[in-house]
Amino acid sequence: MRIGATHETYAQAEALFDTNVQRVLLVALAAALVAFPFFADQYWLYLACLVAIHIVSTTGLNILTGYTGLVSLGQAAFMAVGAYTVAILEIRVGTPFIVNLIAAGAVTAAAGLVFGIPSLRVKGLYLAIATIAASFILHFLFANGPAILGGTQGLSMPPARLFGFRHPEAMDKLLEHLATASAEYLVRQVEAGADALQIFDSWAGVLDEQAFERFCVRPVARIVSEVRRRFPDIPIVGFPRGAGSLYAGYRERTGVTALGLDWTVPASFARQLQQDGPVQGNLDPLRLVAGGKALEEGIEAILGGLGDGPLVFNLGHGIVPETPIKHVERMLERVRSAVR
């Protein structure tokens, strides 16, 4: 076994391979990676993508810092350059995604060279200083630049449902893959000890009736069916936020145990839905931020209107970052005292 460094020249130290065995192993690894997507299930393919992303990030850091001793502090800005490149080409030009992806890499590399090359001609931490400057300059351009960049509101990519309307077969295939991967993820959650599951669909409220059935109900039903095939008794909450009247029948068509209700659902309608099984919700998250009378009134309305039936008290969507902890404590105290 060879131990330690046996390099005698800088050329040997900089070489990617020391032996032919290393070259053969690299070729074998490349072949395995090419074949992997054809044999792996969705969960392992998802993990492999995450690992690959981190390998790329680590390799870039190693090349920059390990080989040159320099540090870049503007990674987010350069990532934004690539993101804007993809968005502009998609919205304004309509070129294929793979072309946009390659162009994003090329434009980002060019932006890096603009800030990087001058820094490499002098010693010290000038690259770190230049990339900090790049982050401020590029942010200013994105926020205050020409109309093509969208200003402070940024660029809005075409909604996913537009893709679904234009390419229905591709959308169905995509949703099938997402449902399979989501079901596998939830199964692993149960295996890790989860006592209940919740399936969020935060954009269900933008769908018309036909799209709601196709893009929301069918994928969720597929997820529930797959999870229940392996864990038939696990409680599952379905939360199609903003579904409105389309909440009716969602439980039966998807097979979920309980309905998660957003804060816009009226108490009278919530009571109707509660007749078919448990409901969850539906305190406005901003009442929790406000606290005081607004919070007390919201809690009382839910407990008074739904407390006699099967209810999981919860917010009508996610908690917002600025929520005071003391307001959360008060909500928990109020709800617990009501159910004792």
**Taking the CB of residue 187, how many other CB atoms lie within 10 A of it?**
20
Give the total residue count for the chain: 340
Band of pLDDT at residue 79, cut at 50, 70 and 90: confident
- Are 191 and 231 in contact, with CB atoms under 8 Å apart? no
pLDDT at 160: 79
Identify the bridge partners of residue 240 per DSSP, sorted by sequence position: 201
User: CA 120 to CA 241: how far, in whole Å?
Assistant: 52
User: CA 74 to CA 136: how far, in whole Å?
Assistant: 9
Start-to-end Cα distance in the chain: 69
Which phi and psi (to 5°) does residue 208 adopt?
-80, 180
Amino acid identity of 32?
A
For residue 1, pLDDT beyond 60 = no
User: CA 85 to CA 75: how far, in whole Å?
Assistant: 16
At 161, list the tokens.
Answer: 């449902």
- What one-character-per-residue DSSP string does 267-294 give? HHHHHHHHTTS-EEEEE-HHHHHH-HHH
The full set of domain ranges for the chain reads: 10-153, 162-339
Mean pLDDT comparison of 32-36, 284-288, 336-340, highest-scoring range: 284-288
CATH number given to 162-339: 3.20.20.210
- Prior bond to 282 cis, omega within 30? yes
From residue 159, alpha-carbon distances to 8, 165, 176, 217, 314 in Å are 58, 10, 19, 18, 29
The whole-number average pLDDT for the span 136-165 is 73
At 146, list the tokens.
Answer: 């020409």
Amino acid identity of 123?
K
pLDDT at 62: 75
User: pLDDT tens-digit profile of 233-242?
Assistant: 999 999 999 9
At 55, list the tokens.
Answer: 């390998």
Q: What is the pTM of this model?
A: 0.60
Q: Sheet with 279-283: list strands edge to edge.
A: 197-201, 236-240, 258-260, 279-283, 311-315
Cα Dmax for the chain: 82
At 37, list the tokens.
Answer: 């997507």
pLDDT at 9: 74
Tokens 């350069």, residue located = 78
**Chain-centre distance of CA 20, in angstroms?**
42
- What one-character-per-residue DSSP string does 182-213 give? HHHHHHHHHHTT-S-EEEEETTGGG--HHHII
User: pLDDT tens-digit profile of 169-192?
Assistant: 989 988 999 999 999 999 999 999
User: CA 21 to CA 15: how far, in whole Å?
Assistant: 14
Tokens 């969020």, residue located = 200
Mean of pLDDT over the chain: 86
User: pLDDT tens-digit profile of 98-132?
Assistant: 888 899 889 988 988 888 888 777 666 777 888 88
For residue 212, pLDDT beyond 90 = yes
User: CA 203 to CA 243: how far, in whole Å?
Assistant: 9
User: CA 173 to CA 59: how far, in whole Å?
Assistant: 33
The whole-number average pLDDT for the span 265-291 is 94
Which phi and psi (to 5°) does residue 264 adopt?
-85, -10
